[in-house]
Amino acid sequence: MSRLDSFIRRMTSQKIILESLIDKVNEVDGPILELGLGNGRTYDHLREIYPNKEIFVFDHALTCHPSCAPDAEHMIQGDIRDTLAFCGPRVGGKASFAHIDIGSGDPTTDLATVHWLAPMIDERMAVGGYILTGLELKLPNFEHLPNPEGIKADRNFIYRKT
């Protein structure tokens, strides 16, 4: 598969899964966490499909297209390893949904990331809340849900806090 085909498949899967979770996430109280602003593509989509949810966005820096920039209150800038543990007072309640898009493509870096990320994101999530992540996480307090039909299980993982 060419890199172009792979990119299209990844973006298509992300959009299908994000949209498949809308009704379920809306049943849970609490804000949304977007880990990895990047170009702002998924943040822009999240704010479109969740008009009634507050969305807090995490990244090292604000490097997205200007039309997708969160306001200052909702952009939590810095290393997520530092900011996620201390965002509680700003974010308020526990999250109904976290979208995690911080995979590096390097297997060793990603192994290190999942090691520190799993307990931190567990701490931030509401019971019943959902996580969509490109990195497989070991989350003992969560159930791993199947992807929507037709979406391969290797790149997107859906979890629900029990």
User: For residues 138 and 155, is the Cβ–Cβ distance under 8 A?
Assistant: no
Per-residue mark of binding to ligand SAM, 24-43 (x: CB under 6 A): ------------xxxxxxx-
Site size toward ligand SAM, by CB under 6 A: 15
- The residue among 60 and 162 lying less far from ligand SAM, judged by its C-beta, is 60
Per the structure block, which two tokens stand in for 100?
A: 């995690």
Smallest separation (angstroms) from ligand SAM to the CB of 67: 12
Three-state DSSP state, 125? strand
Q: Which residues pair with 58 in a beta bridge?
A: 35, 76
Query: What is the H or E stretch that residue 143 is in?
Result: strand 142-145
User: For residues 131 and 100, is the Cβ–Cβ distance under 8 A?
Assistant: yes
Smallest separation (angstroms) from ligand SAM to the CB of 129: 19
Residue 119 within binding range of ligand SAM, rule CB under 6 A: no
- The residue among 24 and 41 lying less far from ligand SAM, judged by its C-beta, is 41
Taking contact as CB under 6 A, which single stretch among the options 49-57, 78-86, 125-133, 150-158 is the one that binds ligand SAM? 78-86
Q: Which residues pair with 56 in a beta bridge?
A: 33
